Structure 1
Amino acid sequence: MFYNNALCDIYIGKGAGKKLMDDMRSAKHSVKIISPYLSPYLISELINLKDKNIDIKLITTNNIEDFYGDRERNIYKLIIQKRNKDFDRQTIRNNWIKFTQTLSNISYGLIALLIVLAYYFRDIKVFLGSIPIIILFLIRGWYKTKIKNIKIYSYSYKQLFPFKVYMSNEKTSLIHSKIYLIDDQIAYLGSLNFTQSGTQFNHETRIRTTDLNAIEKIRKEIEDLFENAYIPAVDLQTWGKQLYLEPIN
């Protein structure tokens, strides 16, 4: 993108994100962000905006601070796990469970009977009756393995709001832009990432503009980058499987 003569405000120094955050929290319709780095507590800001029915669109990289961190941290809240149940398999599993319980009852009954017979007849041949008991326990063990391995649940994942996580490594183009577009009316550009250090503590550069022509070009740039098919992105389903446990039954 190239655009000359845009009207803008310039800020250089610490606390470059204060005005940005004020405008973002006052958004009426939408917030769009490109930032290669994110902080967990600022992800919570986006979640709060989503809860207020603000449309969010986010482009970032796998440099998110808690990308592979604690399951309780905020990146997990951006991905919603849906558990799908196979009711036919559940019925089969329940039938197997009942069958193994029946085998157990029969086996323990036979053991009790065998003990009584051995006591009264005091004949070692009585213990030949343990053979069918052993067979019953083997069958029971086989079914228990089948019960353990049958897959009742499958899992799929969806996004809390639209976002792209592009891969950041030496083999791909690094998404390094920091762009914020609020209500398609206010744009911020500069060096500050959507992180606590970037918005509050670092010495950063920040440009704020409401220039209509610039806004339109920035909006299109964000949309084009979001739909880019040539930059490797993290697959949502694969990422979800890395973030969440997936019990099979």
Structure 2
Amino acid sequence: MGVFYNNAICDIYIGKSAGAKLMQDIRNAKRNVKIVSPYLSPFLIKELIDLHSRGINIRLITSDEIEDFYGYDKNIHKLIIQHKHVDEKAKETRDSLVSLSGTLLFAMIGLGVVLIPLIYLLNNFKFAYGFILIALMFFVRDSVVKKIKRTKVYHYTYKQLFPFKVFVSPNSGNSFNKTFIHSKIYIIDDEIAYMGSLNFTGSGVKDNHETRIRTSDPNAVSKIIEEVKEIFYHSNLVERDVQFWGSQLYEEPDN
């Protein structure tokens, strides 16, 4: 990874609200938006979700230092879609066990209702032996209920709403990853590129004193696109697995 390009034609901005023009260009995108930003804010993730819903192709590279992990507005979670799959054979087995459990419970209650009046009305405690049968049915039903709980009817897979990479930060204590993707790169419609200090966060685009350049120089944009593609596909950095991550974000009832 790495690129050098000389004599690019670009606009330079330094100061607050460095992201005003950037956000305008992103919202006016006609085909695609590519973003590299180690930090993200939830409401800006929502901007990407809205763009995706309009048919704009999104590609995102970020880190697990996302603000969204620590706040209440969990838009990053909306980027991972859960699919629930049914094991029909297991479901059939589970349903049969549930039916058997219900039958045993009904039989236990029914037998108890019959035995108690017989004991007291006939004053014959021999009918109390019937409670041995109830006890046996109780243990059988308990075994059935445990088997129901062990029967997994559903399993889950996850997919991304649009292509994105979440690289594991060296700050996480991962000894295999010493490189932190700290770049901030924005490409709109493969025609406009931004680079600078501003993250895709509220403070970055509005409040902080930031630096950024904007270029529509075709050669420069082409070089930047290639670098983003290299990071996305060939970085060899440790990244969050969407299947594991999804399992942490969503509940996964077994049956």
- TM-score range relative to shorter protein: over 0.9
Mapped to 2, the partners of 1:157 and 1:94 lie a distance apart of: 26
SS at match of 1:227: helix
Q: Which runs of 5+ in 2 are unaligned?
A: none
**Which one is further off, 95-104 or 17-26?**
95-104
Give the length in aligned residue pairs: 248
1:69, distance to aligned residue in structure 2 (A):
4.6
Q: Deviations over 1:47-90 (max 9, x none)?
A: 111011010000000011112554x5211110111111112111
SS at match of 2:69: coil
**Which residue of 2 is the match for residue 241 of structure 1?**
247
**Which residue of 1 is the match for residue 204 of structure 2?**
198
State TM-score, norm by structure 1.
0.96
SS at match of 2:68: coil
What's the C-alpha RMSD, in Å, of the aligned pairs?
A: 1.3
Instruction: Flag the 1:69–1:134 CA change in 2: closer, same or farther, 3 A.
Output: farther
**Which one is further off, 35-44 or 167-176?**
167-176
Residue identity (%) = 53
CA contact (8 A) 1:192 1:198 kept: yes
**Which residue of 2 is the match for residue 46 of structure 1?**
48
**Which residue of 1 is the match for residue 35 of structure 2?**
33
CA contact (8 A) 1:68 1:243 kept: no
**Which residue of 2 is the match for residue 147 of structure 1?**
148
Verify: 1:62 aligned to 2:64, yes or no: yes
Give matches, 1:65-144, under 5 Å. Answer: 65-67=67-69, 69-70=71-72, 73-144=74-145
1:125, distance to aligned residue in structure 2 (A):
3.3
**Which residue of 2 is the match for residue 19 of structure 1?**
21
State TM-score, norm by structure 2.
0.94
Q: Which runs of 5+ in 1 are unaligned?
A: none
What one-letter code is carried by the residue in structure 2 that aligns with 1:47? Answer: I
SS at match of 2:155: strand
Give matches, 1:199-238, under 5 Å. Answer: 199-238=205-244
Moved over 3 A (4+): none
Mapped to 1, the partners of 2:105 and 2:82 lie a distance apart of: 37
1:229, distance to aligned residue in structure 2 (A):
4.9
Instruction: Flag the 1:239–1:207 CA change in 2: closer, same or farther, 3 A.
Output: same
Give matches, 1:173-184, under 5 Å. Answer: 173-184=179-190
1:108, distance to aligned residue in structure 2 (A):
1.7
What one-letter code is carried by the residue in structure 1 that aligns with 2:68? Answer: D
Instruction: Flag the 1:160–1:136 CA change in 2: closer, same or farther, 3 A.
Output: same
CA contact (8 A) 1:34 1:58 kept: yes
**Which one is further off, 45-54 or 163-172?**
163-172
Instruction: Flag the 1:85–1:30 CA change in 2: closer, same or farther, 3 A.
Output: same
1:100, distance to aligned residue in structure 2 (A):
1.2
Mapped to 2, the partners of 1:52 and 1:190 lie a distance apart of: 27
